[in-house]
A and B are shown apart, each in its own frame.
Chain A
Amino acid sequence: MLTKEQVIALIKEALEAEAITESSSADNVPEWDSLGHLNILSMLDTATNGGIADLTDLAKANSVNKILAILASRSLLMR
């Protein structure tokens, strides 16, 4: 399981963005484009040891909040 802070740090690293917060999304982070999103999915897959394999909703989850919600729904996020 990941903490919220770990997920945010992961997204920041995946996007090579200067700052990522809970309110970050593809709408307000220039680096969050289609390739950036692939990086996020790839790193989440590694960080969860393949745990996101069936979370198809993540393909369209273009914000930190959406990602956190999906991970929480499958008990991949520590409360």
Chain B
Amino acid sequence: MSIETTATDEATVLAQLSGMLRELLEEYGLDDAEITMDTTFHDDLELESVDLVALSGQLREHYGDRVNFATFIAERDLDEIIALTVGELVRYTVASLRATA
């Protein structure tokens, strides 16, 4: 088993992202919501675009330059951003981490 602290498999990244999301949601009292790969940012967690900016900040803090959230949503239009799932971000993050390992 690897002893790297930043493992690049989906389960670990999901756990890390969930933590960030919970921080974001904590003051809204929704920190006990279930977060899975299928959870949507907008419908399930009720995050708005402004919150996503905050999330991008947290991602930068945690992963530095290795994960560019801005690029991630750059290609998407409004409908797609609203329907984004945690899983899509997880996969993007994993891919970014592996590419920059």
Genuine A/B complex: no
Residue positions of B touching A, CB distance < 8 A:
none
Residue positions of A touching B, CB distance < 8 A:
none
